[in-house]
Amino acid sequence: MMNEPIRLADALSVLGQEYRITGREDRWVFRAAPIDDADEECICFCSRSEERGLQMIGETRSRAVICLDSLDLSPLSGADKTFVQVANPRLAFIRLLHRFFVASPEYVIHPTAVIDESADIHPEVSIGPGTVVGDECSVGRGTVIGANVTLYRMTRIGERVTIHSGAVIGADGFGFERDSTGELVNFPQLGGVVIEDDVEVGANTCIDRGTLGDSVIGRGSKIDNLVHIAHNVRVGQRCLVIALAMLGGSVVVGDDSWVAPQACVREGLAVGRNALVGLGAVVLEDVPDNVVVAGVPARILRENR
């Protein structure tokens, strides 16, 4: 959390988008809070439009509100508040939180972590208690790994990655073949896992190693808690895979796609770029680029704009 107050005018430089300000710029901000729980010393945001947005902004005790640039704030002209109007209030608020309200990580390797001597660990890395890092692993600069995480051998983690507690990266994929007697013969899993820069992996998520090549999570993608990603999967850049989703073996997910909670994508399929797989969908055939699919089995609903 922030240790000292900030002047609102100084905070606006980090918004990352054009803004229009109404009211005093010399206010001091001490905390960030939800709009319905904010007091006079807090900054908050409101993404609602029209009457509901005006009502929420008018009722909040906060005197510094980030809100939509499309709002007509003239009904609130008598309020002793400062309004910062932007195209995307939530994004502007997130940038402000990162700059002023989130503490910088401390790079500490907990004494109970077990790290193989062959692993390549950057000095600026945090590794939590009980975590195991196997042989031939690497962890890049600025990465934070929580408690009780397991990185199996040949797991390569990029820079500024966050892996939350209980995740298992690089376990064997589920690959078997029956012989003539019906016995199941294990297909050796010889590949690894590559997690590129700026990825986040949620708690208790499992990402299996590749069979012969690598399983890959692309730069900037975010994987939620309790997700299963099978062997040889390749997730593109800036994707989101949400809680309880399952990507079967060798699935390919294109850049900027979204896989919703409890969705299941059958092995060997491709999900196109900028596609959205809806809540609980069961995907049994390839998903084209730029579409929304949902249902059991999944069907195309509309273009994803």
Query: pLDDT digits over 32-47, tens only?
Result: 999 999 999 999 999 9
Q: How many CA atoms lie within 13 A of 247 on its CB side?
A: 36
What is the spatial distance between Cα 285 and Cα 298, in angstroms, rounded to a whole number?
Answer: 8
What is the spatial distance between Cα 50 and Cα 299, in angstroms, rounded to a whole number?
Answer: 34
Please say if the pLDDT value at position 14 is more than 70.
yes
Of 110, 122, 228, 231, the catalytic one is 231
121 is written with which tokens? 């660990």
Domains of the chain by start residue, with CATH: 6-100 (3.40.1390.10), 114-303 (2.160.10.10)
Query: pLDDT digits over 204-259, tens only?
Result: 999 999 999 999 999 999 999 999 999 999 999 999 999 999 999 999 999 999 99
**Residues contacting 4, CB < 8 A, separation 6+:** none
Which amino acid would we find at residue 33? Answer: A
Distance of CA 93 to the CA centre of its chain: 17
Mean pLDDT of 163-169: 98
234 is written with which tokens? 């390749």
> Taking the model in full, what pTM does it have?
0.90
Q: Could you give the C-alpha distances from 226 to 243, 245, 277, 303, in angstroms and in order?
A: 5, 8, 17, 29
Mean pLDDT of 287-300: 98
Mean pLDDT of 123-131: 97
Radius of gyration of the chain (CA): 23
Q: Is residue 231 among the annotated active site residues?
A: yes
Distance of CA 184 to the CA centre of its chain: 37
Looking at residue 53, its pLDDT comes to: 93
What is the spatial distance between Cα 164 and Cα 166, in angstroms, rounded to a whole number?
Answer: 7
**Residues contacting 181, CB < 8 A, separation 6+:** none
Taking phi first (over 0 means left), then psi (-120 to 50 degrees means alpha), and beta for anything else, what does residue 138 get? beta
Query: What integer best gives the mean pLDDT of the chain?
Result: 94
Q: Report the run of H or E that residue 54 belongs to, with start and end.
A: helix 50-59
Mean pLDDT of 129-152: 98
Residue 257 pairs in a beta bridge with none
Helices in 84-220 by DSSP H: which ranges?
89-100
